[in-house]
Amino acid sequence: MTVLTFAPPSFRDLFTPKLVTVLREGYGPKDLKADAVAGLTVAIVALPLSMAIAIASGASPDKGLIAAIVGGFLISALGGSRFQVGGPAGAFIPLIATTIATHGYDGLVIATFMAGAMLVAVGLLQLGTYIKYIPYPVTVGFTAGIAVIIFISQIRDLLGLRIEGHDPAEVLEKLPVLWAALPTVNAVALGVSLVAVVGIVVLRRWRPRLPGFLFAVAGGALAVAIFALPVETIGSRFGTLPTGISFQGLPGLSIARMRELIVPAIAIAMLGGIESLLSAVVADGMTGRRHRSNCELVAQGIANMASALLGGLPVTGTIARTATNVRAGARSPVAGILHAVFLLVFLTLAGNLMGFVPLAVLAAVLAIVAWNMAEKREFIVLLRASRGDAMVLMSSFLLTVFVDLTVGIGVGIVLGALLFMHRMAEAVEVQGGRRMIEADLADSRDSAVAYDASRAADREVAVYRLNGAFFFGAAATVGAVFDRIGDPPHVFILDLTAVPFLDTTGAYTLESFIHKLEGNGTTVIVSGARAEVAQVLAHFGLKEPRVIMSPTVDSALTTADARLGLGG
């Protein structure tokens, strides 16, 4: 006979980077070649995207490249996913822009470092598993909200608008400013944007393997250099950019500053954790592999701390780059490491060429990113699914767009939890009835009958069964049913076979009801309680000898007959 046993993974196994696992399994020249090709492919995608995300966030483009290099290297080297590729993400744009506008870039650096420390702590405490409990309508809602914010943030550069002074980060403040600036539309910038969008879309449709983003950026820069187009470029807005990476530290760090930045730090950590684990799940689905979520969060945390110290943006695992990595034939985390190396080479050797890149082209890149990241079909499906799901979805979406990302996620989670509790409460069912001596009205395992008030005079045996998780949301419903039982029987059998979970509120409800039965001399038998359910009951004194614990309803009925003198 073969006995199957399960041994939980050790702490060391949980936090062993996938790179170490790959190297232990054996890594050869063919693997390196495949990873090099995949790494170069991802770097080509990441190059324009990282610069565009940085500019849209209110930072200089080199900050995005630094984040892509540092985050890409460390997340792949230390992470728990074989194919995850890290870097700055479009989802961070509204959060980063708001943080910079409120606390300055130094504030963002400190908040990013704090967020990294939080992610390391969450991973080491093995709390990464709980991130998967965020309701699906919440993730779809805030993702769509972020996509709307990204697109709105790019209208200025898409149209080449001239805006004097500070460009607001908040949507409600930004829209009036954009409306007032509409008469300043730059026809050339608009034309460059349209050509870039059309070019990227056409290449994706007819030659999906070609790097449309890079072709658009390179073509736009070439057109500016040759024809001296009157459009704003990276060079005209940001001047000469650094061509290397240097240690920046944490400027202005103090306890007071950390208290001031705790909210954006939590938001960065929360969003980074959600985004990275969603990306890892996508990679698992594409490859059949399984990632180590807590190891991944520790790597994300270390990468964010390092990116902050080197002056980069917050980083996370990104779905677009990870999916590109898988499709390009990557075999191990080495591909993600090489992608970072290729980006570093570009920043060092060709960083000066970035000055020619028109901002209209980068805006076109992000506009397409926003369109792709908005889960349009899923959004419509959830709107039609139920009123509850639609409420959660729209709350997360609208609050993300018009208030704040953290508020959108927080309110969405709370509403989703309330919706879940309401549904669980409705799913709990009480079945049962009185059993007279002459005939069995119900064995609740097979054919439970509803309580019949006309049988209230029968003082023999009542069998009631609870179906579903019995938690605080269902306590009022079950309590109301118990209150309608009427005159107590001689024996009350409570079948908990179909109760997978019982919380303290549910146990208290049962204890209160059983206490009333005891006052009337009723014998209470609890049947079919699972070990974990029986343990909760025991905390409230519902155990032998106060109540009789029986494994099945049949055995409970036999015990009831014996108590009534009907056995044998």
65-108 residue pLDDT tens: 999 999 999 999 999 999 999 999 988 988 999 999 999 999 99
Look at residues 245, 280, 303 and name the one whose alpha carbon lies nearest to residue 115: 303
pLDDT value at 274 more than 70: yes
Mean pLDDT of 44-54: 88
For 86, which DSSP code?
E
Look at residues 285, 316, 322, 289 and name the one whose alpha carbon lies nearest to residue 302: 316
The one-letter amino acid at 27: Y
**How do residues 513-565 score in pLDDT, each as one tens digit?**
888 888 888 899 999 999 988 988 988 888 889 999 999 988 888 888 888 77
491-498 and 523-527: which strand pairing? parallel
Rounded-to-integer distance, Cα 277 and Cα 283, Å: 10
Predicted local confidence at residue 209, as pLDDT: 78
Bridge partners (DSSP) of residue 55 are: none
Predicted local confidence at residue 143, as pLDDT: 83
Task: Judge whether 522 and 493 are in contact, CB under 8 Å.
Answer: no
- Say how many residues make up the chain: 568
Rounded-to-integer distance, Cα 348 and Cα 243, Å: 5
| The residue to which tokens 């179906």 are assigned | 467
> Can you read off the two tokens belonging to residue 550?
């029986």
Predicted local confidence at residue 507, as pLDDT: 85
Position 32 confidence tier, pLDDT thresholds 50, 70, 90: very high
Position 474 confidence tier, pLDDT thresholds 50, 70, 90: confident
What percentage of the chain carries pLDDT values higher than 70? 89
Mean pLDDT of 114-131: 88
Rounded-to-integer distance, Cα 87 and Cα 83, Å: 13
CATH 3.30.750.24 in the chain, residue ranges: 428-563
Position 428 confidence tier, pLDDT thresholds 50, 70, 90: low
CATH code of the domain occupying 428-563: 3.30.750.24
pLDDT value at 120 more than 90: yes
Phi-psi region of 288 (alpha: psi -120 to 50; beta: other; left: phi over 0): left
Rounded-to-integer distance, Cα 334 and Cα 380, Å: 39
Q: How far is CA 254 from CA 118, 218, 259, 308, 417, in A?
A: 17, 43, 9, 16, 37
Measured torsion, CA atoms of residues 22, 24, 26, 32, in degrees rounded to the nearest 10: 40
Task: Judge whether 405 and 147 are in contact, CB under 8 Å.
Answer: no
Task: Return the higher-pLDDT residue of 72 and 487.
Answer: 72
pLDDT value at 15 more than 50: yes
pLDDT value at 415 more than 70: yes
Task: Return the higher-pLDDT residue of 330 and 166.
Answer: 330
Position 193 confidence tier, pLDDT thresholds 50, 70, 90: very high
Position 426 confidence tier, pLDDT thresholds 50, 70, 90: low
pTM value is: 0.73
The mean predicted confidence, pLDDT, of the chain is 84
Rounded-to-integer distance, Cα 185 and Cα 168, Å: 18
Task: Judge whether 121 and 352 are in contact, CB under 8 Å.
Answer: no
Predicted local confidence at residue 199, as pLDDT: 92
Phi-psi region of 270 (alpha: psi -120 to 50; beta: other; left: phi over 0): alpha
> Can you read off the two tokens belonging to residue 16?
């062993």
Which of 9-13, 333-337, 534-538 is the most confident on average?
333-337
Rounded-to-integer distance, Cα 483 and Cα 490, Å: 17
**How do residues 357-401 score in pLDDT, each as one tens digit?**
899 998 998 898 888 888 888 888 888 877 888 898 999 999 989
pLDDT value at 188 more than 90: yes
Burial of 37 (0-12, 13-18, 19+ CB in 10 A): middle
> Can you read off the two tokens belonging to residue 183?
């008469």
SS3 462: strand
DSSP readout, 47-78?
HHHHHHHHHHTTS-HHHHHHHHHHHHHHHHHH
> Can you read off the two tokens belonging to residue 90?
């479009």
Largest Cα span, the chain: 105
Predicted local confidence at residue 446, as pLDDT: 38
Predicted local confidence at residue 430, as pLDDT: 66
Rounded-to-integer distance, Cα 133 and Cα 211, Å: 36
Rounded-to-integer distance, Cα 343 and Cα 348, Å: 9
How distant is the alpha carbon of residue 142 from its chain centre? Answer: 10
> Can you read off the two tokens belonging to residue 354?
């970035």
Position 307 confidence tier, pLDDT thresholds 50, 70, 90: very high
| The residue to which tokens 């240690």 are assigned | 247
pLDDT value at 475 more than 80: no
